[in-house]
Structure 1
Amino acid sequence: MILRFAAAAALALAAGGAQAGSPPRGCDRSHDITAAQQDRLLRFAAAIREVLAGSGAQAALISRSGTDLSRFGLRYSHAGITLPDGLGSPWAVRQLYYACAEGAPRLFDQGLAGFVSGSDDADVGFVSLLLLPPEAAAPLAAATLDRGLALGLLNARYSANAYPFSPMFQNCNQWVAELIAAATAGSTTREDAQAWLRREGYAPEPVHASPWLMLAGRFVPWLHFGDHPAEQLDAGAVQTSLPASLEAFAMQRWPAARRIEFCHGPQGVLSRDDGEPLPAGCVP
């Protein structure tokens, strides 16, 4: 039981784990919701869609609170790109997910309602939108819709805690980072995308964990450490792409980007535009 708990905690360390963006909600996990919860999630998605539709944006970075990472001071675990059209429904999300049954990463286009339903907690959830200015949004939309390019940046080997500057593995947020690089700099390979990201100052904040948590992570099949610098691991640090690092990089590069945070909770839907983070529990 202790080992199982440790492994689950290590999974949380890893930026969203296997369920990120996927129809299967992670390996060997079920997630049943009530009709009332489903109704609230649909209303939540509708509120976000309304803001997106009124924004005039051509593309937005969208992140959700999937796996609970609060023990590491993190709210968001999984990111994708949402577009007004071209992905099957208005403001659907293109993202990477790990197909547990196949043991391989896949690209998945998901409607907004399905995307916001991917949280561990059906009663309280958070979504962050980063509306990009036209000079960033237009090429990102084109790159996202270029299926050949998007698939070309998809690595065959998945690791939820993939190191951002190694071609060995990839996680869901790293695919988004490399897609941004491809859209902005014209990169067509993962190596070129990572080199551009490093040159441009992309530097995800390391997540720190205790030694037992690091050890437990080695028993989880979708966590890997062979791509990480030994000195970081010795210091109990794992550097991996997370939504917060994607947003920080994009906002530094495009100061005109507009961030809007949403949450749903016991008192309905709240939102905040370019302000302080919404309160935990989504209680005003």
Structure 2
Amino acid sequence: MKPARFLAALALALPVWAFAGQSCEEKPLTPETFRLAMQTAQTVQQRLDALDSDVVVLGRMGQDLSKYNLRYTHAGIVYRTAPDRRWRVAHLLNDCGTDRSDLWYEGLGNFFLDDMFRFDSVALVPPPQVAKRLLERLNQPARLRELHTARYNLLAYPFSTRYENSNVWVLEQLAAAESREAMVRSREQAQMWLKLNGYQPTELNLGPMTRLGGRMFKANVAFDDHPSELRYADRIQTVSVDSIIHFFDAREEGWKVEEIAGAQPRRY
């Protein structure tokens, strides 16, 4: 596909006021941002086309979290649709400025248009047997919604069903696809599987002012789902893209991790 045709195909309708933990500031879309997103999407698509899998977990760098030793902030599940074989992204997004979320299905171009910090990404490729079960879930939207809670929390605790965020949703979908012992039909069951299999969330050491300020001034940040002994010690455990990668890579089942360099800003 020629670049111009590719860019036109990727420029789908943008999500309205739906973000994955970004600042929610209304910023005009600049030609440079559009170029970076579309070139990155083209690079990612080419790499996905070369992989022997119809479903991949894709992480992006929406914010700078280097002070927490984290690189990727938001994950979605990328899969080929039938019969056109196009790549689509299924992910959970926050309704900006609220405590609500919904599931979105978008093209790769849109995935990189959401107020990015950098345009590098990471692909987590499941082993064939898990990919098959995950793709079956993606083709049944009702199954995806079994593990969706509309109440959003940017720092949702991984072992509570009170809230959910983008990475929690992805992690629980992967748990449902991985489970061989029993069919996972609820968030409680997905979290039980994760506990039994040793999933370790990322722990953020937040100061009390940061924690209390977030709860007071942001509708999409809460801490009341975290255990008191952790919360009052300013130890906030949550699901990061890095923790998802570390957990499944350590299972030694054939999961593959590949980092993909994105487009770079022009130097004038």
Using the TM superposition, name which of 41-50 and 258-267 deviates more: 258-267
Write the deviation string for residues 251-279 of structure 1: whole angstroms up to 9, x where unpaired: 122442221112335478xxxxxxxxxxx
The two structures, once aligned, show a CA RMSD in angstroms of: 2.3
Write the deviation string for residues 152-194 of structure 1: whole angstroms up to 9, x where unpaired: 1111321111100011111111111111122222200111111
The aligned amino acid for 1:54 is: A
Contact 1:136/1:254 (8 A) holds in 2: no
Cα distance in 1, alignment partners of residues 246 and 85 from structure 2? 28
> Which residue in 2 is equivalent to 1:157?
151
Give the TM-score normalised by structure 1. Answer: 0.80
> Which residue in 1 is equivalent to 2:6?
none
Q: What secondary structure sits across from 2:262 in the alignment?
A: strand
> Which residue in 2 is equivalent to 1:264?
262
Cα distance in 1, alignment partners of residues 92 and 194 from structure 2? 19
> 5+ residue gaps in structure 2?
1-13
Cα distance in 2, alignment partners of residues 120 and 43 from structure 1? 14
Q: Percent identity?
A: 28
Cα distance in 2, alignment partners of residues 83 and 130 from structure 1? 12
Q: What secondary structure sits across from 2:173 in the alignment?
A: helix
Cα distance in 2, alignment partners of residues 69 and 87 from structure 1? 39
Which structure 2 residues correspond to residues 1-284 of structure 1 after superposition, within 5 A?
Answer: 23-24=16-17, 25=19, 28-86=24-82, 90-100=86-96, 103-121=99-117, 124-185=118-179, 186-219=183-216, 220-264=218-262, 266=264
Shift of 1:69: 1.8
Task: Give the 4+ runs in structure 1 shifted more than 6 A.
Answer: none
Cα distance in 1, alignment partners of residues 170 and 76 from structure 2? 6
Write the deviation string for residues 59-117 of structure 1: whole angstroms up to 9, x where unpaired: 11101011332232211111010002249872211001112377521000011111022
Contact 1:217/1:223 (8 A) holds in 2: yes
Cα distance in 2, alignment partners of residues 156 and 72 from structure 1? 27
Contact 2:91/2:104 (8 A) holds in 1: yes
Contact 1:87/1:109 (8 A) holds in 2: no
Write the deviation string for residues 24-58 of structure 1: whole angstroms up to 9, x where unpaired: 24575123232233123211111110110111212
> 5+ residue gaps in structure 1?
1-20, 269-284
Cα distance in 1, alignment partners of residues 71 and 193 from structure 2? 27
Change (3 A) 1:253 1:144: farther
The aligned amino acid for 1:205 is: T
The aligned amino acid for 1:70 is: S
